[in-house]
Structures are given as structure tokens and as C-alpha cells.
Amino acid sequence: MTQALTKTSFSLPGQKGKYTGKVRDVYNIDNKYLVMVVTDRISAFDVVLPKGIPYKGQVLNQIAAKFMDATADIVPNWKIASPDPMVTVGHFAEPFKVEMVIRGYLTGHAWREYHSGKRSLSGVPMPEGMVENQKFPKPIITPTTKAEAGHDLDISREEIVGQGIVSADDYAMLEKYTRLLFERGSEMAAEKGLILVDTKYEFGKKDGTIYLIDEINTPDSSRYFYAEGYEEKLRKGEPQKQLSKEFLRQWLIQNNFQGKAGQVVPEMTDEIVQQVSDRYIELYENITGDRFVRSDVSHVTERIEANIRKCLKELE
């Protein structure tokens, strides 16, 4: 079994601090740059699972880098360079404390809420009479809080502005950028025979300018269906063939785990880990149209640190 990178502990030039997220280790360099190491950790239901997934970090980092480059004409983004297959170095921006979730189809969390009888999500109404995986008449934006720990919570536009989390003017721009990014991502997915079902975008502000930050259109932040067979499966009420983390969530649900108190993560066998790794690589190749080239992970920590240090030296 290929080794997975699940943690880093670098001491970098100018390092002010380190933030450890569910998947990413983010190093603050002089409050000027961020070094984001995308590890092979994997989370579901806001819980980091006990085993890492080989090549997952490389997949996420390289997909995000590709989409950052492909959308830089829509909104400035934080990326400056990707000096390593698992690393992005970029601008330090103050993050907005909301995640902008946009949904083109009724699935996942939205479907679970709908199926339970709710007809609005984050204050946004959902039409009556819809079925699972059906396309919304128009994509809906359903923001969530950005939780430091535990579960992100649905929150409405009115609550965000009313509580002063984001100003009305900034929030209007976040919605505009979210719709434009989703439209571009959907077009790029369609070219590859995929449907971008839903995703989330995160934004920050630097020197008065809004930047797209973190990741974009990756299988951790997004859900994709295969376009071929979508209509037939919808008509028959069958599950869609998809490329996302939803298959992992479903496996966890079938094994009685949804991140609730007292529940235990089921055993992640080598077979399950390999299947998840294969699915991530499959998505990479489908969404980018490129063959995935596995990086040499024999000395992955040393490789990453050397590449980061070289990049930071060049930014001096």
C-alpha cells in the first residue's frame, strides 16, 4: 500500500503560524503569503477519518490549481505558484467567515433536508414536487457558517448581513462571483461529459480586494455526475453515477456512521482506501482531461519542504 501523507510540521523562513484544517496544513509567512500543503487526510461529516488516501492531496491541489488558472479572469485568486504537486503558495487574505455553497441539483445535504419535509435551505425556497438529483430551475446559493471545529451550519443571506458577518456590498459580490464561477465550472465539466452538481467557494479580502481562496471545483468541495445516463437514471429513480465524496459518505452511512455522538468510524480496510484513491484519480482524469502522473512519494516530506523553501526564496 502506498504511503499517505497525513501531517506536516515544517519550520519555514518567516513562519508566523500554522493552521491545521481537516485536510490542509496552512503556513502563514510574514502575514504576506500562505503556504498550503494539501495532505492525504480525508474527512466526511466534518470528521477526519483515521487513514489517509494516497495521492488524494496531489489530486486536490492540481485540480484546484487548474481551475484557479481557468477562472482568474472572473475574480482574482490567491494562487501565486504551485511549487510541488501537493502545495500551493499564495497571497494572505483575511477570509470571510462564510462558505458560499451553490447547488444546481437537489442532492446530498439538500435532498436529505428536502426529503425530511423542509422546503427551504439557508432561507432559499426549494420548489414543491422535486425528486432526488433533479435539476433546480436556477442554481441556488445556500451559504454555511465557516466552523473552526465541528459542523458548518446553514445560514441565510439575511442572517449573514444582519449579524455583520459580511457587509451587504461584499455579500452581493460574493454571490455574483459564486454564480459566475459555477457557470464556468459547469461549462468546463460539460466539455468532459460531466455535470457539476454543486460546490462551495471560499473568499477572502486583501487590501480592499476580494480574492477567491482555498480550493475550487475539487471532489472534496464539489459533486459531479456523469452526463451520460443522467436523464434515464433520473426517470427511473436510480442513483446517479457520480464522482465525488458522496460514495464515501454513503459507505459510512451504510456502516452506521454520520459523525454523530457515540458513533464509531467503521474500519477502513486497505481495499476501501485503495478504492477511494482510485476514485479520486478517476475524477482528476475525467475533469481535467489529463492523465494523472503519480508523484514520487518515497521521500515526500523532504521533497515538499525543499520545493517550498525554493519558492519562498524566489518570492523574496
- The 10s digit of each residue's pLDDT in 228-239 is 999 999 999 999
What is the model's pLDDT at position 171? 98
Q: Which CATH class is domain 96-243?
A: alpha beta
Band (3; pLDDT cuts 50, 70, 90): confident
Question: What local confidence, expressed as pLDDT, does residue 283 receive?
Answer: 84
Residues of the chain with CATH 3.30.470.20: 96-243
Q: What is the CATH number of domain 15-94+273-315?
A: 3.30.200.20
What pTM was computed for the model?
Answer: 0.90
- Lowest average pLDDT, out of 73-82, 184-193, 239-248, 257-266, goes to 239-248
* DSSP reduced 3-state for 257: coil
Alpha carbon 180 to chain centroid distance? 17
pLDDT band for 149, please (50, 70, 90 cuts): low
Query: Taking the chain, what is the end-to-end CA distance rounded to the nearest angstrom?
Result: 39
Count the neighbouring beta carbons within 10 Å of the beta carbon of residue 70.
Answer: 16
Could you please report the per-residue DSSP string of 12-32?
-TTEEEEEE-SSEEEEEETTT
Mean pLDDT of 292-307: 96
Q: Which residue matches cell numbers 471545483? A: 217
Angle between helix axes 56-71 and 168-191 (nearest 10 degrees) is: 110
For residue 179, give the C-alpha cell: 454564480
For the segment 205-221, what is each residue's pLDDT rounded down to a tens digit? 999 999 999 999 998 89
In percent, the amount of the chain with pLDDT more than 70 equals 98
Buried b (16+ CB within 10 A) or exposed e, 72-105: eeebbbbbebbbbbbbbbbbbbeebebbbbbbbb
Residue 152 has pLDDT above 90, yes or no: no
pLDDT for 159: 97
> Range(s) for CATH 3.30.200.20 in the chain?
15-94+273-315
Looking at residue 240, what DSSP letter applies? Answer: P
Read off the pLDDT of each residue in 270-292 and give the average, rounded to a whole number. Answer: 92
